[in-house]
Amino acid sequence: MTNITPEEVKQRLDAGETLNLVDVRQPEENEEFNIGGILLPLGEIQSMQTEEIENLRENEVICYCRSGNRSGIAATILEQMGFVNVKNLVGGMLAWNQKFG
């Protein structure tokens, strides 16, 4: 797993790049604020219910959560499942909102 900063993600999004973002928070957290991507709560990843992102195994996948903790766990699990380029958004949505909110 590699870390990626909110600045790097925002710069790439602002440049029009399509990113494979995976929000591992709960639905209510996602409804409050999100930066796009697929909602796939950590519990589903832990129980290996990853059908929604199976086609991304060979692509870059950026996981994010509230603070970076759950997304770090999710990224590690995805790597163990064979995903080859998984990144964790450092600081999560707290850092994102602090910088860009």
Q: Which residues are catalytic?
A: 65
Q: What is the Cα–Cα distance from 42 to 10, expressed in whole angstroms?
A: 23
10 HSE (CA, 13 A, CB side)? 14
Q: What value, to the nearest 5°, has the Cα angle with vertex 25 and ends 62 and 27?
A: 125
Q: What is the Cα–Cα distance from 76 to 8, expressed in whole angstroms?
A: 20
